[in-house]
Structure 1
């Protein structure tokens, strides 16, 4: 097992809803557990990987840049988009401009990339349901919340992409994601791969814990493709996928509480792990060789 000293934020945000908390301050609170953190605690990842990523934030990548830039223009909040007007970025001058843009907290982009995210934002506004869910007259972006988990007492946190202003009826929370493929089949695979059903359960519980919505609160994904014509698919979760997500979240929360209390963040274990063949390989080979 790996034992790592537990870092502590100097001033953790107060419990409750924060409408103006910066993204940096939100992510700096390592005393609380987020939805993405909960997913990182569970297989195929490990608590050791979760702890390492908490202590060593990942450097920006182009994939994250595109997603963050699209969030900026679609949601109206986020880092500044900064044009680095060079055909290639491998020259000394271009590298200096990219470094300066990142030092300012911005997202460096080429002109065609800025054109792309602008077109994506336009396509969102032309999609009736997505545009209604992200109506700037009835909601606000990047709202953060902190609350205590009842069974364990740990701090949990959430950062809503968009939080609607409740007028009447139930609360529907949109969450915006970009993807290479927004078809039903592709999104279904992404839900399994990235644990979006866990995110849905987490955000819905957060809304209830923060007195924003009732038990009928629902999260919907707004998934948009990153290539023209920038198609949009609004996706919900069925009962069983959400319940599985809720159960996995509970295991992750209990694991976080245990690791926080002990200071031990295990990896793959200290003893041999005896593994069978994957089921498909065992079925194939036993018919031929046994």
Structure 2
């Protein structure tokens, strides 16, 4: 099923992801990798246990919902002691977790909800509403974790929530594109440009929390990258081709490698200045 432009409060995650409209992940792949990567990943979605932890953490923090979890008290996920009850849980529509994983999720929830600012992001919010809109012939979609009157919020579980590390990891993971995409989707359907927060919580004790917000220039670069992705996708639709890497691409060495090679060769030795 495909959805018309609008805001849908009751779509499941499965229904949202099944719609072919371009979401944030697609735009990031198209902009910074290749259409061939996008096409393959679209046809071959990968499931990892870490995704289950993220799903449960979101459900617990965003909605206070524990009903979708089946806790299995085993030390590891090897053998029938895990596979049999885990399969039964999945068949019942639940996510199986070890007790240790469930304890971790609850610890992260407690840390977020005890944080004086982060807890305000997940109080009185609209959780995971699906937004669909049209942009110059393309259907786009986004699903903000939390939507408040004065801001949008994305919840991230992470190894390191240090705000000094976020610029590097956020660039690598394309979070600046995600923030711009979500903000623009809500703007398209409501006329409001809302600030966008990332609430980050660490996966290891003491589960520290940070809150970060991209500046205007980072958001503009995100929009430019998203525009690049949409242009690439339009060309793919027109040609029916989803290319990978160029056949031949001229390259050079990274700056640090050039400096090292020049140093070895003695090419970057500064001449001594002699004053007469």
Same fold, TM-score > 0.5, yes or no:
yes
Deviation at 1:214, TM superposition (A): 2.1
Residue equivalent to 1:100? 88
Alignment partner for residue 192 of structure 2, among 206, 214, 222?
214
Deviation at 1:98, TM superposition (A): 2.1
Residue equivalent to 2:142? 158
Q: Output the TM-score relative to the length of structure 2.
A: 0.91
Does the alignment pair 1:40 with 2:42?
no
Q: How does 1:89-238 map to 2 (within 5 A)?
A: 89-135=77-123, 138-149=124-135, 152-164=136-148, 166=149, 171-211=150-190, 214-215=192-193, 217-238=194-215
Residue equivalent to 1:65? 52
Distance verdict in 2 for CA 1:179–1:221, change over 3 Å:
same
Structure 2 distance, partners of 1:228, 1:193, is: 25
Root mean square deviation of aligned Cα = 1.7
Query: SS at the partner of 2:28?
Result: helix
Deviation at 1:88, TM superposition (A): 2.5
The answer for unaligned runs of 5 or more in structure 2 is 268-276
Deviation at 1:78, TM superposition (A): 8.7
Distance verdict in 2 for CA 1:113–1:273, change over 3 Å:
same
Whichever of the two has the greater Rg, that structure is 2
Structure 1 distance, partners of 2:202, 2:62, is: 16
Deviation at 1:34, TM superposition (A): 0.6
Deviation at 1:102, TM superposition (A): 3.1
Structure 2 distance, partners of 1:75, 1:148, is: 27
Q: Output the TM-score relative to the length of structure 1.
A: 0.86
| 1:191–1:197 CA contact under 8 A, matched in 2 | yes
Aligned pairs, number: 265
| 2:31–2:226 CA contact under 8 A, matched in 1 | no
Residue equivalent to 2:231? 254
Residue equivalent to 1:5? none
Query: SS at the partner of 1:14?
Result: coil
Deviation at 1:185, TM superposition (A): 2.0
